[in-house]
Structure 1
Amino acid sequence: MSRGRTSPGRQSESATADLGEFRFESGESIPNLQIAYATYGEFTGDNAVLVCHGLTGSQHVAGYGNGSGVAGQARAWWSDIVGPGKAIDTNEYYVVCANVPGSCYGSSGPASDSPDGDPWGTDFPPVTIGDWTRAQRRLCDHLGIGRLHAVVGGSVGGMNALDWAVRYPDDVARIVVVASAARLDPQCLGLDAIARRAITTDPNWNGGDYYGEDARPDAGLGLARQIGHVMYLSKESMDHKFGRRAAGRGGRGDSYPADPAAMFFPYREVESYLDYQGEKFAQRFDANSYLYLTRAMDDYDLSEGYESDSAALAAFEGEALLLSFTGDWHFTTEQAESLASACRRVEVPVSHHVVESDHGHDAFLVEPEKVGPPVSDFLVDGPSGRAVTDTASDNHVADDETDFAPVHSSLFSR
């Protein structure tokens, strides 16, 4: 049975699929996996593009949806990239975006109801990126989609796209990995661990059993998100946006315990920004979901079960586009080039497109004019497209493995 199932030939803003019993990679299972998804465009049999959202994104990649508490950055989060006449052109492609298991925008996760009618909380099974991919494959079956024209993902969604190439190498012709990598580095792992501890040490977390209570772990979740925002911005963008400018004196006494000595010192604009973002995020997202999704991201390692990244990709006979941003220290250009080299070693046609940007990790969301052209050309022409041509990508390894694809500045305007 399914609720809101839509024929692939018709356009639908959003729906929820009941995909039946689902066994997670942890070995635990749930009786009914619900996956909330949105579709755009018309299905013609060979034009399906799956878009994988970022850590706290939703299925509404180019639309505002009809509820599910979706707000802020989770609403129409890539509407400058996906839509009629845009880089992922819904006049040409049938675009599907699914909210991943463990999230809180309509798919099964800690905040959804368990069989006894109460929210799962931390009784929900641990979730991996492999589980996301397997759930998406099952959703595609539900929609009548066989082989995908492309899987596109940014940030942790890029890891999701990579997992498709490894797990279902015959089911996707092209992958687009934007601002992502084969795994997180230790610095990011450490910061994610601190963010999770901000949640689990909030007295209102209550072991994950806070649903229906008057108080929720909003302070801990807000702090976790503040750490995330610092990770997503570059030094240059923070200096330009905030500098050392003061926004007043004191601090946010309504949010954090009063610190009398703080009244002597300036409350800086960067603090004000982070406080605002943390409070806003806590209103739209679930603390347990944040724990689950960051653990899934931290756990992902492309080479797990294989001798190397190259060995993991050896069965993939499709093509790959990698986009990285010079100001992104969350997923660096060096990490992307390492992934490109892994593709070349097993003769996966690949282009690594390096974009000059000082926006940090958020560049893939806030600079669509730099993301759209290479993605659009790749979806049509593959790595030989004019916007993504790369002298080191025509199935050979460059003499200098650290060489990057040229940035086509003529295509991009600030």
Structure 2
Amino acid sequence: MTTKDTIDLGEFRFESGESIPSLEVAYETYGEFTGDNAVLVCHALTGSSHVARRPDAGDQTAGQARAWWGDVVGAGKAIDTTEYYVVCANVPGSCYGTTGPASTNPETGEPYGTDFPPVTVGDWTRAQRQLLDALGVGRLHAVVGGSVGGMNVLDWLRRYPDDVGRAAAIAAASRLDAQCLALDTVARRAITSDPNWNGGHYYGGPEPEDGLARARQIGHIMYLSKASMARKFGRRSAGRETVREQPPDPAAAFFPYREVESYLDYQAEKFTDRFDANSYLYMTRAMDDFDLSAGYESDADALAAFEGELLALSFTGDWHFTVEQSEALAEACRSAGVDVAHHVVESDHGHDAFLVEPEKVGPPLADLLEAGLAGRSITDTADEEDEPEEFAPVHASLFSE
């Protein structure tokens, strides 16, 4: 059983104190709700509610060509939709069906643009809680998310600790480090410096596609590791048949158009066709703003009321959200008396590993949902004697060598 729908939650007040008269939330559900089997999946930065494949939708939903986690969520998959009632909601500020900057302001009849209120991860969590209330879902069997979706998971644990039994924060952290904050800043400046941005009120006119393209290219570099880029592209030329539409400067025509350039240009072109520049600004600011300890004495204090189980899952080649950051989260849980396991996955795919290596992500998730942290694929590497070798240094950074 699958459902694709939009619900109007009515007036919504954001953490900024501003409000809008109507918040519509786009969501999809998979499976049948039996009262205690609900699993909330939180999407990453540019994801949507379309987390699993939908035969009735031809797998073309919410502007995305395919389900963003279709190899992990579905019938017979790690998050098995024949056993669990899976809910995934597009978050406020995005552009895949939930109210955001591109949506029409009912008070003016025009798109909100940058008049849309600032959005936080906490606003996402509160909107999800209201959606689940409307669906008749109380306590969640589990909440799962990767990247900023993992931050969304952590916010659930501090905001609604009694509403979650098990949780998985995948390739996530308690907060962004300074390097990632800096890169996000440059990405946003690329958008706001585009001559077509027009203060965010570009709807109905030329859009800031060049700025959004550059922002996405910066993002893609962040999501890959040094090793994966060397393997995928090296220094190879893209070939005689692959030519830039127009060299960026006269001298560029003399030099080879490399595979890595071609890849970044291709990804940027695809992205500008499906995503809104203002939403990129809003979503990255929400991610940058998140700090698990905000309003508390520490991360441990923020998580102390959670009595369920948390799986922190990290990847050795990920320099966006590092193994060390997941271990720091796990240590905060241990200090707070929260049941936790930190599962480290050997991978050189970088941050994208949680999306492109379902065979490594799926087993620990399936075991968490079925048996909790006692699941056979889940190990807490911090308890192993060879602990120092388990945690990769941040040498995989594209900018550290």
**TM-score bin (small chain):** over 0.9
Q: Tell me the equivalent position of 1:84.
A: 75
**Which of residues 278, 282, 289 in structure 2 aligns to 1:288?**
278
Q: Tell me the equivalent position of 1:224.
A: 215
8 A contact 1:352–1:404 mirrored in 2 = no
**Which of residues 159, 177, 184 in structure 1 aligns to 2:169?**
177
The residue type equivalent to 2:367 in the other structure is: D
Q: Tell me the equivalent position of 1:143.
A: 135
SS in 2 for 1:46: coil
Q: Tell me the equivalent position of 1:202.
A: 194
Residue 303 of structure 1 pairs with residue 296 of structure 2:
no
| 1:39-188 mapped onto 2 (5 Å cutoff) | 39-63=29-53, 65=57, 69-72=62-65, 75-115=66-106, 116-188=108-180
Residue 245 of structure 1 pairs with residue 220 of structure 2:
no
The residue type equivalent to 1:70 in the other structure is: G
Shift of 1:69: 4.8
How far does the alpha carbon of each residue in 1:261-289 deviate from its partner, in whole angstroms, 9 at most, with x for none? 11111111100100010011000000000
TM-score (norm. length: structure 1)? 0.90
SS in 1 for 2:67: coil
- d(CA) in 2 for partners of 1:181, 1:403: 20
Shift of 1:381: 1.0
- d(CA) in 2 for partners of 1:18, 1:401: 49
8 A contact 1:251–1:263 mirrored in 2 = no
8 A contact 1:353–1:404 mirrored in 2 = no
The residue type equivalent to 1:165 in the other structure is: L
The residue type equivalent to 1:109 in the other structure is: G
Shift of 1:347: 1.1
- d(CA) in 2 for partners of 1:287, 1:402: 42
8 A contact 1:251–1:262 mirrored in 2 = no
Shift of 1:402: 5.9
- d(CA) in 2 for partners of 1:124, 1:192: 20
- d(CA) in 2 for partners of 1:81, 1:68: 17
- d(CA) in 2 for partners of 1:230, 1:391: 28
Q: Tell me the equivalent position of 2:28.
A: 38
8 A contact 2:13–2:20 mirrored in 1 = yes
- C-alpha change, 1:131 and 1:147, in structure 2 (3 Å) is same
- C-alpha change, 1:380 and 1:162, in structure 2 (3 Å) is same
8 A contact 1:13–1:63 mirrored in 2 = no
- d(CA) in 1 for partners of 2:174, 2:329: 7
- d(CA) in 2 for partners of 1:13, 1:391: 39
8 A contact 1:60–1:76 mirrored in 2 = yes
Residue 271 of structure 1 pairs with residue 261 of structure 2:
yes
Q: Tell me the equivalent position of 1:233.
A: 224
Residue 315 of structure 1 pairs with residue 305 of structure 2:
yes
Deviates more, 1:259-268 or 1:160-169: 259-268
8 A contact 1:202–1:217 mirrored in 2 = yes
Shift of 1:12: 3.1
- d(CA) in 1 for partners of 2:102, 2:177: 29
- Counting aligned pairs with the same residue, the percent is 72
- d(CA) in 1 for partners of 2:231, 2:72: 26
Deviates more, 1:273-282 or 1:57-66: 57-66
SS in 1 for 2:379: coil
TM-score (norm. length: structure 2)? 0.93
The residue type equivalent to 1:198 in the other structure is: A
- d(CA) in 2 for partners of 1:92, 1:401: 36
8 A contact 1:39–1:94 mirrored in 2 = yes
8 A contact 1:337–1:402 mirrored in 2 = no
The residue type equivalent to 2:257 in the other structure is: Y
How far does the alpha carbon of each residue in 1:178-207 deviate from its partner, in whole angstroms, 9 at most, with x for none? 000000000000000000000000001111
| 1:306-385 mapped onto 2 (5 Å cutoff) | 306-385=296-375
- d(CA) in 1 for partners of 2:243, 2:281: 27
- C-alpha change, 1:248 and 1:85, in structure 2 (3 Å) is closer
Count of paired positions: 386
Report the RMSD for the aligned CA atoms in angstroms.
1.8
SS in 1 for 2:110: coil
Q: Tell me the equivalent position of 1:3.
A: none
8 A contact 2:235–2:258 mirrored in 1 = yes
8 A contact 1:49–1:94 mirrored in 2 = yes
How far does the alpha carbon of each residue in 1:39-64 deviate from its partner, in whole angstroms, 9 at most, with x for none? 00000001000000000000000035
